[in-house]
Amino acid sequence: MTSRPYIGGQAVLEGVMMRAPKSFAVVVRRRDGSLLVRERATPDVRQGIARWPFLRGVASLVESLRLGSEALRFSIEQMEADTPGLAASSGAGLGILAALGVSLVAVVTRGDGAGTVDGSASGKRVGAGGGLMLALAIGFFVALPQGLAAVVNRVLGLGLPVQSAGFQTITGALKLVIVVGYMLAIRRVAEIRRMFQYHGAEHKTITTYEAGEALVVENARSKTTFHARCGTTFLVMVVFVSIGLFALLGACLPRIHTGNAALDNVLFFGCKLPFLPVLVAVTFELQRLFARYAATGPLRVLLWPGFLVQRITTEEPEDAQLEVALASLRATLFRQEQEQEPGRSTGAQGDVQFPSYAALAAAPSLRG
């Protein structure tokens, strides 16, 4: 019996991206109600040592950022095509999305999976976009919380060394406040709120697939919008793991004491950077462990901090949004099946448009 492929996904503007070990698909709904599908084969980069525990977490994050960046750009292009003049707008909608919102929302709406982009010019552009998303994430979730912790430390006169466990606890608490506060703020933007609905649709669809049920709206509708492998849960877990990891790092390093608190913070931030892959790797393995063994039963309490924040980053989707997520998964699974059969691989494909979900579901290549 052939094992079922491992599926991950991400919400985009008016759409959903899904990926399997050897396939990738993103489906967006156009203003006229039609569904635009982009799908193709993708080489599985998690080969050899990249499949080893801890190393696979870093590989997965890099893949997710690269593929997520491409999927977001694709969805933005379709929205701009449907709304002339939107690209030049500096209003609250897409102007915010194109700057910081979309990149950070991509982090919290991504789900663990497998896939990568090709080595084409498009792939190189995507790699640059993924690099930007990574830089934004480091600045927003690492540098900013530590800077604010230094301010709190000074204002309250706590006198905590930057390497101390107490300082790292304050940093972690502020990191969580920043994440939750930011998500509460941006969900007021209409486009972001709809992305959160698509995030819920993505979770419901993957849960339906994992339950072995038919990929139809009726089955997906009843599923929960929460998922243990969600990027939101990953970020929440990063907060807690970072407290312990960086407190341990601070205890192992020689004390940084230049006499200038600001310089001490900069130097310790520099010391943290090489350990960010370790933070990602440890958190990835813990999340996989919790998702496997704590999804049910009394250990489920370990997932509740992430689920509580998912209440912010997911919304109950409309049936039309479930259709988009289901269409994306159908396209991904079809391509995955092709890649697993010798001689059937067809390589990269262009975009295909369907007038409705019913037409897509009836297509011989996408039935499931």
Q: What would the DSSP string read from start to end of 171-184?
A: HHHHHHHHHHHHHH
The whole-number pLDDT of residue 103 equals 54
> Which residue bears the tokens 């950070």?
104
Strand partners, 348: 40
The whole-number pLDDT of residue 132 equals 63
Cα–Cα distance, 161 to 338 (Å, whole number): 57
Contact call for residues 332 and 202 (beta carbons, < 8 A): no
Residue of 97, 91, 92, 141 whose CA lies nearest to 279: 141
The whole-number pLDDT of residue 91 equals 41
The whole-number pLDDT of residue 118 equals 37
CB atoms within 10 A of CB 184: 12
Cα–Cα distance, 322 to 222 (Å, whole number): 11
The whole-number pLDDT of residue 209 equals 94
Contact call for residues 20 and 332 (beta carbons, < 8 A): yes
Residue of 1, 4, 7, 58 whose CA lies nearest to 229: 7
Cα–Cα distance, 242 to 141 (Å, whole number): 11
Query: In Å, how far from its chain's centre is CA 179?
Result: 14
Cα–Cα distance, 335 to 149 (Å, whole number): 48
pLDDT averaged per 10 residues in sequence order, the chain, 368 residues: 74 92 91 92 68 73 79 88 62 44 59 44 44 72 91 93 93 91 86 92 95 94 92 89 93 88 90 91 89 78 89 95 96 83 58 90 68
The whole-number pLDDT of residue 76 equals 86
How is residue 259 written in tokens?
A: 């006499």
Residue of 70, 57, 56 whose CA lies nearest to 106: 70
Sheet holding 352-354: strands in order across?
8-12, 15-20, 23-29, 35-41, 352-354
Determine whether 100 is exposed, middle or buried from the number of CB atoms within 10 Å of its CB (0-12, 13-18, 19+).
middle
The whole-number pLDDT of residue 42 equals 80
Q: Identify the DSSP state of 100.
A: I
CB atoms within 10 A of CB 33: 10
The whole-number pLDDT of residue 127 equals 45
The whole-number pLDDT of residue 116 equals 36
The residues, ordered by sequence, that sit 6+ positions from 306 with a Cβ below 8 Å of its Cβ are 228, 230, 232, 233, 234, 236, 237
The residues, ordered by sequence, that sit 6+ positions from 8 with a Cβ below 8 Å of its Cβ are 18, 19, 64, 110, 111, 112, 113, 114, 115, 206, 229
Residue of 218, 230, 227, 277 whose CA lies nearest to 62: 277
Residue of 7, 32, 14 whose CA lies nearest to 112: 7
Secondary structure of residue 160 in the 3-state scheme: coil
